Amino acid sequence: MKRFAIFAVLLAAAPGAALAADAEAGRAVFKSQCSTCHSPVQGKNAVGPSLFGIVGRTSGKVEGFHYSEANKAAGLTWDVATLDKYLTSPKTVVKGTIMSYAGVKDDAKRADLIAYLETLK
C-alpha cells in the first residue's frame, strides 16, 4: 500500500518520468497474469474484454463483449484507485463477476501493472 501511495504521488507530479520504469515491469505482470484472457489491443476481445483504454473507462462498456450482469451493473469508473482495489480482489469489488482470477496481492506488482494499463491508449 505504501508503495502504491508513493506511486500515486509520483503519477500526479511527473507522469512521464514515474511511469517509464514501472510500466515496463507491469507489462511483464500483464503478460504472465492477464494476457491468457485479455488483449491490450483495441477491439480484440477474448475470454475477457480488450483492456485497451481501460484506465478512465466506465465498467462494462467494451463493445461486442458479453459481460456478466454483475459487471454490467457495477457502474464503476476504472480509475487508478478503483483498479487497485479490483485487481487486489476482483470478486470483492464486483460481486458475481465471471472473471475467475484471484487477484494480484503484491502492492508493487499491482502498481506496476496499473502503470502499464495506463499506456494502453
| Binding flag, residue 7, ligand HEC (CB under 6 A) | no
Instruction: Round to whole Å and give the CA distance between 89 and 12.
Output: 25
Using CB under 6 A, which of 104, 111, 115, 118 touches ligand HEC?
A: 104
C-alpha cell at 109: 506488482
Beta-carbon contacts of 111 under 8 Å, excluding residues fewer than 6 positions away, are 3, 4, 7, 22, 26, 84
Q: Which residue has the cell 511511469?
A: 19
- For 90, list phi and psi in degrees, rounded to 5: -50, -45
Q: Is 99 in the site for ligand HEC (CB under 6 A)?
A: yes
Query: Residue 102's Cα: distance from chain center in Å?
Result: 14
Q: Contact with ligand HEC (CB under 6 A): which of 18, 19, 23, 34?
A: 34
The residue count for binding ligand HEC (CB under 6 A) is: 26
Segment near ligand HEC (CB under 6 A); pick from 2-10, 12-20, 45-53: 45-53
Site residues for ligand HEC, window 66-85 (CB under 6 A)?
Answer: 67-68, 70-71, 78
Query: Contact between 37 and ligand HEC (CB under 6 A)?
Result: yes
Residues near ligand HEC (CB under 6 A) are: 33-34, 36-38, 47-49, 51, 54, 59-62, 67-68, 70-71, 78, 87, 97-101, 104
